[in-house]
Amino acid sequence: MLLISNPRHLGHPMSPGNWKRLIILLSCVFGGAEMNQQHNNPHQPMTLTWQVLSQTGSVVWEKKAVEPPWTWWPSLEPDVCALVAGLESWDIPELTASASQQARPPDSNYEHAYNQITWGTLGCSYPRARTRIARSQFYVCPRDGRSLSEARRCGGLE
């Protein structure tokens, strides 16, 4: 059965029945606007991810949190030795990022480690050198939305 409203049955414009209809209508309008506004809110918390990538583009370290955009700047504490693994200019050119995180076996060649201790250079092949590099401050080039191929313009692989 189809009911059609007749303006004569609505009664006086200020009657309680009309107010209820108006309130319901306005609630729907403003409630929908509020939900729509929530999606456009620049302060709406979202999942933010900070990543440190190796020269090859693999993720060496990441940190996630649910925060409003542009409000969360975490301390970045990646394993630097995982970043430099495989580079000829460092003391672990034969290792991959995952292998660099494992302790060296007792029969390893510690020639590089001896040079690090003697000359005080930074490196990763000896536990004391790893500790020294972990305490050092260094600059990491931000990617700033650039593609991986464009990210090299910040200083290259080393």
Q: What is the pLDDT of residues 35-81, one digit of tens each?
A: 555 568 888 999 999 888 776 777 888 899 999 988 888 887 778 88
Residue 158 has pLDDT above 60, yes or no: no
Identify whether residues 36 and 75 lie together within a single domain.
Answer: no
Assess whether pLDDT exceeds 80 at residue 5: no
Residues 78 and 38 in one domain: no
Residue 49 domain flag:
no
Q: Is residue 48 part of a domain?
A: no
Pair 84, 131 in one domain: yes
Residue at 47 is within a domain: no
Between 42 and 14, residue with greater pLDDT? 42
- What is the mean predicted confidence (pLDDT) over 29-38? 53
134 pLDDT above the threshold of 70 = yes
Q: What is the pLDDT of residue 47?
A: 94
What is the domain count for the chain? 2
- Residues 27, 76, single domain; the answer is no
pLDDT, the chain, mean: 69
Same domain, 38 and 82: no
Query: Which residues does 132 contact at the CB level (< 8 Å), separation at least 6?
Result: 122
Shared domain for 82 and 132, answered yes or no, is yes
pLDDT of residue 107 exceeding 50, the answer is no
Q: Look at residues 54, 73, 53, 51 and name the one whose alpha carbon lies nearest to residue 63.
A: 51
Is the domain of 137 the same as that of 75? yes
Regarding whether 29 and 85 lie in a shared domain, the answer is: no
Domain-embedded: residue 36: yes
pLDDT at 3: 47
Q: Which domain holds residue 36?
A: 15-42
Distance from C-alpha of 67 to C-alpha of 113, rounded to nearest angstrom: 42
pLDDT of residue 93: 76
Higher-confidence residue of 121 and 82: namely: 82
Q: At what angle do helices 127-135 and 111-119 cross, to 10 degrees?
A: 50
Whether residue 35 is contained in a domain is answered as yes
